[in-house]
Amino acid sequence: MAHPLDLYNWQSSVVLCLVSKPDSVVIEVEVDRNAIGQDILDKVCASIGTIEKDYFGLQFYGPKREPLWLNLRNRITNKISGQCPFRLRLRAKYFVEPHYLIQETTRNLFYLQLKQDFSDGRLEIPLEKFAYMLALVAQVELGDLSHDYANADVFEAYTALCPSDDTAQAMYSGELINVHNEHLQLRGSSKSSVVSKFLAEVTTLPTYGTECYHIKLETNSPPNTTTNQSTNSPTLSRRYHLNVILRVGPRGIEVLGEDNQEIKKIPFKAIQLATHSGKMIDIHIY
């Protein structure tokens, strides 16, 4: 008589997770098959020597290759599909002012992630700040300039550190000589001090630590409502759906138009209640 195969007992009691840091270095972590996400994060943070693990989270890719945050309270085998090894990304999730970061290891992890955001063009950098910020990155990545004059090799190295999209390259290309001048001023600075300066500069940017979501906003107000419209107008009782950008960050929530113009800013302390059902998010504010 044939017996059904007990595949569960054939499975290993441990699972292998490959966790990539912001600098793409991969850490191998083995955990029990019943482990939760927090167990993995604890092991990763222990291996890199940071105790400030509350600022970090783990991401994985969903079926549409969209990055999703792993719920650290859930069993990993219940959340991630596919075969082992499971591939995860260590990312800063809760961004704070740099002076709250105690360990140099933690500051370096923040720097690596924000430098990647800088290179990918996810940070909105005013032109007047660009030269100094790129010079800070260059001092960390390239070290002291060996001579006072600029040459093609130096400019090529700066260009490699610039935001990679064509629009940013065109906008910032004329600033490279200013980057060189700022870089010269940083000669002799230690890596840790420059990292701290970079974090202090990034903190002032409106996109620091933010994530953007393209959503439809439901509102009573039609687009381009004029101030002299009668309050008895039947249009005011209708519901409108506007395509907007929801930007969530350490300072609160911003609602932006498709042209990136601010529609509304909501500090976290003004949020009374936030609920969601399926794809619908309902935010109650004071």
What is the residue-wise DSSP string for the chain? Answer: ------HHHHS-SEEEEEEE-TTS-EEEEEEETT-BHHHHHHHHHHHHT-S-GGGEEEEEE-TTS-EEE--TTSBHHHH--SSSSEEEEEEE-S---GGG---HHHHHHHHHHHHHHHHTT-S---HHHHHHHHHHHHHHHH-S-SSSS--HHHHHHHHHHS--SHHHHHHHGGGHHHHHHHHHHTTT--HHHHHHHHHHHHHTSTTTT-EEEEEEEEESSPTT--TTS-TT-GGGGS-EEEEEEEEEETTEEEEE-TTS-EEEEE-GGGEEEEEEETTEEEEEE-
The confidence score (pLDDT) of residue 194 equals 97
| Residue 7 forms part of a structural domain | no
The confidence score (pLDDT) of residue 229 equals 47
For residues 102 and 199, membership in a common domain is answered with yes
| Residue 129 forms part of a structural domain | yes
| Residue 20 forms part of a structural domain | yes
For residues 105 and 85, membership in a common domain is answered with no
For residues 194 and 115, membership in a common domain is answered with yes
- CATH code of 180's domain: 1.20.80.10
| Residue 110 forms part of a structural domain | yes
**pLDDT by residue, tens only, the chain of 286 residues:** 555 544 444 466 889 999 999 999 999 999 999 999 999 999 999 999 999 999 999 999 988 888 999 999 999 888 887 778 999 999 999 999 999 999 999 999 999 999 999 998 889 899 999 999 999 999 999 999 988 888 889 999 999 998 877 777 777 878 899 999 999 999 999 999 999 999 999 999 989 999 888 888 877 666 554 444 444 555 445 777 788 888 898 989 988 887 888 888 889 899 889 888 887 888 888 7
Task: From 152, 180, 203, give the residue that closes a domain.
Answer: 203
For residues 123 and 195, membership in a common domain is answered with yes
| Residue 69 forms part of a structural domain | yes
For residues 66 and 47, membership in a common domain is answered with yes
Count of the separate structural domains present in the chain: 3
For residues 64 and 121, membership in a common domain is answered with no
For residues 161 and 133, membership in a common domain is answered with yes
For residues 174 and 254, membership in a common domain is answered with no
| Residue 67 forms part of a structural domain | yes
227 lies in which domain range?
Answer: 211-285
| Residue 8 forms part of a structural domain | no
For residues 17 and 86, membership in a common domain is answered with yes
For residues 51 and 119, membership in a common domain is answered with no
| Residue 1 forms part of a structural domain | no
For residues 45 and 82, membership in a common domain is answered with yes
- CATH code of 69's domain: 3.10.20.90
For residues 131 and 166, membership in a common domain is answered with yes
Task: From 155, 183, 203, give the residue that closes a domain.
Answer: 203
Task: From 92, 110, 128, give the residue that closes a domain.
Answer: 92
